[in-house]
Structures are given as structure tokens and as C-alpha cells.
Structure 1
Amino acid sequence: FDDLQVKYPFGDYAQQGELEKAYAHFKLGEFSNTDEILQRFIRVYPRHPHIEYAYYLRALNRYTQGIGKRGTVFKVEKTQRTNEYARQAFDYFSLLIRRFPHSRYRADSVKRLKVLRDALAEHDLYIANYYLQRKAYVAAARRAKNLLETYPQSVQIPAALSIMVQSYEGLGLHDLARDSQRVLDLNFPQFTPKKFKPGKKKS
């Protein structure tokens, strides 16, 4: 593959070889190499007939780094780099769907986006709760608000609203607390907060 790329960089076999090389690195768990090859491929061959696959594999590569094969959600002990991979995967899958709305990879991308959205939202919720338990109300409210704005379809929305209510009360911002409570009661009348289990450190 490398020889083809050097001798015939714009030949059909060389271009296809780049995709196959990227997939081989991906299967071996060599994620950095996979990303490097795909980033270059997308930049150099934007009109390639299999460009959708390049976008998809790039997103799947980051997904595997950030979440893994089981859809593991993030806890506070996860590293910032791991979370960044997941956020990149979220952005990459979103870009694929926007750019290729009728792609054969759309259905799988939508499914993985939901996993990513809920996992990233849970991570933000965990951090917000961490701050709330330590009476860092400004940080807790900010993190919860970010969750609402970034992942509006997440299952973590009611818990984030609950944190905002408690944070605003802690800050003495009673009007904002009442507003948040009204939104929570109107949209999630059956919501019951879960007991928070603090971690050892924040991310």
C-alpha cells in the first residue's frame, strides 16, 4: 500500500489501498495511525467514490477510543483524553450525517450518536454533581447548563435541571431556581433524583 501511494498517489489502487490500510490499522488497535491516514485521505481525495466510508471509519475509530465496543459510559475517573476522543467521535458522526444525509452509514451513525450523547451527558452530569456536593454552586450550575445546551435530547436532562435548581438556591438566586423547577415539573413530572456517589477526583 505504501509503495502504491508513493509511486501513484492519485491512482485508483493507491487510493483504495489507503482506505484498506486505515482499516488494517484500526483492526490492530493502532488508532493514531488510522486517524492520520483518514484525515489525509479526506483532505486529498474529497471526491473519492468511497469518501463516505472514510468519514465513517474516522468517526468509528474515535468512538472505539472514547467509548469502546460496549458503550461504556463515563465516570469521573475517565481521563480527559478519553472524553476528548468521544467528543470528536460525536462531532465526526454528526458531520457524516449532515454531509451525507442519505449515506448507507447513517443508521449506524445515528445509533452511535445516541450512545455518545448519553455517555457524554452522563459524564457532565457526574461532574456537575461533584461540584454540587462540594457547594461549588457556580461550577455546578455552569456544567449542568452546558449539558442542557449541548445534549438537549439526552436522558440526563431532568437530572441536570435538578442540579441547576439546587445550585441556584445555594447561590441565593431564587428566581432562577424557581424557573428551573417549573421547567423540570412541566417536562418531567415523574422525575426523582438519584442518590449521588462521589468519586475520588474530578476530570
Structure 2
Amino acid sequence: MIYTKHSTSTILIIIMCFTPFLCHCKNHTNTTNDDLHKQYLSAKCKLKNKNYKTAIKKLETLNKKYPFNQYSNQIYLDLIYAYYKSMDFSLAHVTINDFLQQNPNHPNLDYPIYISGLINMELDNHTIHKLSFIKQQSKYNPIYARQAFHDFSKLIHQYPNSQYTPDAYKRLIYLKNRIADYELAIIKYYNKKQAYITVINRTEDMLRYFSDTKAAHHALWYMHTAYQKLHLTHQTNQVMKIIIFNKNKIINTLKQT
């Protein structure tokens, strides 16, 4: 194709016409990024100052106003924390699940998993406080405690080097005893009902999952009684041997400390 002087002039005119538009787009992009940055810093400031409700509003607005922006993942993580601290556990769990599904390879997945464990522990405690007529914690079904146990176990196994792992270990010890105490309460109930087969079966489950808890040691006595009531001498003697062994083990441990 041969370009004439006339066609060249036409091209120059077109370029000149579009140049202001391109410059305007560039300036608009910079303005948008600056606005996004300022608003995000403002939200972070509110979060740092524990003004969680205002922080949530600002973060939610940013998500709607600038979807898929450069801060999107961090905004999700900040919202998870803000919802948790403002005790909006339902929204916190929804945001955690969304984040985990949308970012399966994110380097900071340990954080939402850890927060999920904290939330479930809080839900366990809050439910017990609401049911004030229950005098003993062990009599309340630890639905949320089990979920928290699952969360912290997942964190420890998948992210052993996480900064949250040491605290997760401590919480697992508490949760293990919390769940074991509930299982012991059930064993006591069935013992009163003289449902000795059930006592034996549930004690076996306790020994499988919570053998290192005080509740499990107490459960052994109910298992021993159950075998006695069923006139199963061999099993009765076997359980007594385990009880004596555990007792000696505990005594030796105390001597060493």
C-alpha cells in the first residue's frame, strides 16, 4: 500500500485527536490507584485502633467499589479479623470459607484456619454461658469444640512451621480435655442406666482418641465395673492391669518432675 501526503496528514490528525483521551485514561488510572491506596490505609488505621465496625464498613466498601483490586486478598484477611473481633462469627466463617475456596494456594492460608479455630472455641464458650442451667461444662455437647479441634489439627499438620502452630498446640490440649470430659459424662450416664455394653464401647473410643486425658483414666474404672457386672472375669482383670500400669506411670512421671 502506498501512503500519500494526504493520507499521512489524516493519520497525524487521528493520533492527535486520541492523544488527550489516552492521557486522560492514564491519569484516571493513577487517580483510582491513589484513591484505593488512601482508603485502604484508612481502613487499616481503623482496624489498628480497634474501631472494628468502621473498619468493616470501609473494607466492605472497597470490595464493592474496586472488585479484584491489588489489595483484594488482604482485604479478605482483614475482614476475617474484623468480623472475628466484632464477634460477627457467622460473617467471619462465610468469609473464611470464601477465601479458602478462592485461594487454595495462598501462602497465608494458615491464618484463616487459625481464626476459624478461635471462632469455634468462642462459640463453644458462648453457648455454654447461654445455657446457664447447665452447671457443668462437660454436660454440654462440644459441637464447636470438636470443630475447633479439627481446625487446629489441620493447621498443625499442614503448616507445622506457622507462627500460629505453638498456640494451636496449647489449645488442642484444652480442647482434647474438654471433649474427653463430655465423653466421660456420657459414660457415667449409661453406667447409671446399667447399659454396660455401651459403657465398654464408649470407653474403648475414648482410649482410642483421648488416652492421655484424666477423663480416660476415670473411664477405665467404669469399664472395669461394666465387665464385672457382665461377669467377664478375664476382661475385668485386663482392665485392672491397665489401671495399675497407668497409675504407676503417673506416679513415676510426678517423681521425675
TM-score range, shorter chain: 0.7 to 0.9
Question: What's the counterpart of residue 177 of structure 1?
Answer: 236
> C-alpha separation between the residues in 2 aligned to 1:3 and 1:138?
59
Q: 1:75 aligns with which of 138, 141, 155?
A: 138
Amino acid at match of 1:173: L
Q: Percent identity?
A: 30
Q: Deviations over 1:78-127 (max 9, x none)?
A: 2x3xx111001001100000000111001100000000001110110111
Whether 1:36 aligns to 2:94 is: yes
Q: 1:163/1:11 Cα in 2 relative to 1: closer, same or farther (>3 Å)?
A: farther
Once residues 67 and 232 of structure 2 are traced to their aligned partners in structure 1, the CA distance between those partners, rounded to angstroms, is: 62
Q: Which residue of 2 aligns with 1:110?
A: 169
1:82-121 matches, within 5 Å, as: 83-121=142-180
Question: Whole-Å Cα distance in 2 between the matches of residues 85 and 23 of structure 1?
Answer: 19
Q: 1:129 aligns with which of 159, 165, 188?
A: 188
- Counterpart residue number, 2:220: 161
SS in 1 for 2:104: coil
Structure 1 position 75, deviation (Å)? 2.2
Greater alpha carbon shift after TM alignment, 103-112 vs 127-136: 127-136
Q: CA deviation at 1:74?
A: 2.9
Cα deviation, residue 190, structure 1: 8.7
Distance across 2 between alignment mates of 1:129 and 1:190: 25
Q: Secondary structure at the match of 1:48?
A: coil
Paired position in structure 2 for 1:199: none
Mapped partners of 1:60, 1:41: distance in 2: 17
Tell me how far apart the structure 2 counterparts of residues 139 and 9 of structure 1 sit (CA, whole Å): 55
Distance of 1:84 and 1:155 partners within structure 2: 21
State the match for 1:142 in structure 2. 201
TM-score normalised according to structure 1 size:
0.81
What letter corresponds to residue 160 of structure 2 in structure 1? P
TM-score, normalised via structure 2 length: 0.65
Contact 1:66 1:86 in 2 (8 A): yes
Q: CA 1:173 to 1:36, structure 2 compared with 1: closer, same or farther past 3 Å?
A: farther
Q: Which of the pair has the greater relative contact order for Cα pairs under 8 Å at 6+ separation?
A: 1
2:27 paired residue number: none
Aligned to 1:59: 117
5+ residue gaps, structure 1: 192-203
Amino acid at match of 1:16: Q
Alpha-carbon RMSD: 2.1
Counterpart Cα distance in 2 of 1:41 and 1:166: 50
Deviations 1:150-203 (A, max 9, x none): 112222221121111111222222222211111111121498xxxxxxxxxxxx
C-alpha distance in 2, partners of 1:190/1:170? 28
Q: For structure 1, which segment, 176-185 or 151-160, has the greater mean C-alpha deviation from structure 2 after superposition?
A: 151-160
- Paired residue for 2:132? none
Structure 1 or 2: more helix by fraction: 2
